[in-house]
Chains A and B, each alone.
Chain A
Amino acid sequence: MKLVCIRCPRGCNLNITKKSNGQIIVTGNSCPRGEEYGKQEITQPKRTITTIQKTDFGTVSLVTSKAIDKNLYFDVLKKIKNTKVKPNPQVGDVFIKNIFKTKVDIIISGIHMCE
């Protein structure tokens, strides 16, 4: 299976093969992150999700604390849609804790005044 690694701007072309004993071999990567990504991607793909939520002054930008199950992508966004920003938000605040019991938090990455 061929994949483009998304872990850094380099975008290595990964070649992933699964041996009969279940071992996964990643080639084409330039660093350990690539190997990690390749293995993850064919077992349980994960993504870092970034989005925003509106506030009365503008928006807060949001990011998952770490990559989350790709299948949950739209569910995460919908959950965020229905979650209000508390007053006086700060960068680094946890916006949603342990979303869908994944041990991933949704973190406020920035405060943006629409002025």
Chain B
Amino acid sequence: MKKKLAFAAALLAASVLGGMANAKTLVYCSEASPANFDPGTTTGGNDFDASSRTVYSRLVEFKHGGTEVEPGLADKWEISDDGLVYTFHLHPGVKFQTTDFFKPTRDLNADDVVFSFDRQFNKANPWNGDKYLPNLTWDYYTGMDMPKYVAKWEKVDDLTVKLTLTEPNAPMLANLGMDFASIVSKEYADQLEKSGKMADFSTKPIGTGPFQFVDYQLDSVIRYAANPDYFKGKEKIDDLVFAITPDATARIQKVLAGECDIAPYPNPADIGTIKANQDVTLMDQAGLNIGYMSYNTTIPPLDKPEVRHALNQAIDRESLIKSLFQDAGATPAENLIPPTMWSWNKDVKSDAYDPEAAKKVLAAAGLTEIQLWASDRVRPYNPNFQRAAELIQADWAKVGVKAEIVNYEWTKYRSEGKKKDRPGAFQIGWTGDNGDPDNFFATLFACSAIGVSNYSSWCDKDFEDLIQKAKKTSDQAERTKLYEQAQVVFQKQAPAFLLAHSQVYAVVRKNVSGFMMDPLGIHRFDGVDKAE
């Protein structure tokens, strides 16, 4: 009997140990807790890393490590000649994840796609409002102007979906690769609605993505397992763990100690230490972002382009960037869009440092005082608004312009700053959503964005015509030309001082392969492998 027991124990131990040795676990030290796991309802990059990029897939996807759109759940699609009708053909036999809280009885079909979008705007859909979760705002769906452009979603047959637009909108395709456009399971939603547990939809996600949700310990650990039915093939790692670690220094210490395999956003001050370490690699990429400073182009003398150019020329941009970004580095911005984005115009150069020339123009224009706005928040495109303001203030003082620094807390800062009659120069920036140039040009400088996100209150007819035409054109080569011209107009008119595109970093242990920096600022774990 004793022998038998000992044998059983040994067997058990062997199986447990064996199980541990076989399971490949990748640990990601994420920077914050996700608000929830329904990407339609959240807005943070950390929310999306934990939900849409792990659990879900979309009709179209962004190329891994790039901004080009490629097939996702839709194998192919057609766009009608007038640019109004998009027909998507779904990949056959895509399975939703099977977990201990949901067993799908059918494959993904057009109903799921229609439902995924319908719930975000149709007030009659029970998942649109309080019945699902209190105070839903669907920020990204409205933020990307989807209600304005989408006329209807229709099921043609099980594997064909038709999207009709109200007017041509070329960036739509890129929008459908964004996180809010993740495809959810209608069958799962129906089950939860019937059992009266609708809120579970946001805490126990079911999708068609590379990893399936296992468990979330609030503010601490999220666990996923590779989805065995993933339509692009099972992932090489078996388990994916997010260890939520908000402090940047602790995060880096964890990678160095081997407690996690990948960590994002190191402190600039730690970059040197990381580079010197043998066990880890520091990965970087020019971020899909821009730091800039908007002049209110409606208030004299800032309404004159030559005055705005002169203010730009007075700033020693190189020293400014060095002092702000330090070891982390940043690419000086020549255009509003970063060089990693298609249609970036290589012939356009921003104003060179020339305080003497600036001094003359500014004296002639009679500009002696200006407001210079700064906020308290660290942004990827500007780590220190206040420091930047002080340096620019010093530069401007040298050309006879006295800058008064205006400070506000971040949300108040933006709500005050976007007012049409806000005076002076306003430091701000942008991180791209979908890799489409429209997402920079139109979002930040379209006439319709005045009072929302056009902090320069700038409405230039030439620029507006170009970007609106580009928005309505489906052909990418033609769009590229239009955007290139728009960048020339932008440089001539100088509605803003362009600072830089910052670098984005991640620290990765040497035995991890296949992890790529993503220009969209997301963290993806499909295709990642780990050597023991």
Query: Are A and B genuine complex partners?
Result: no
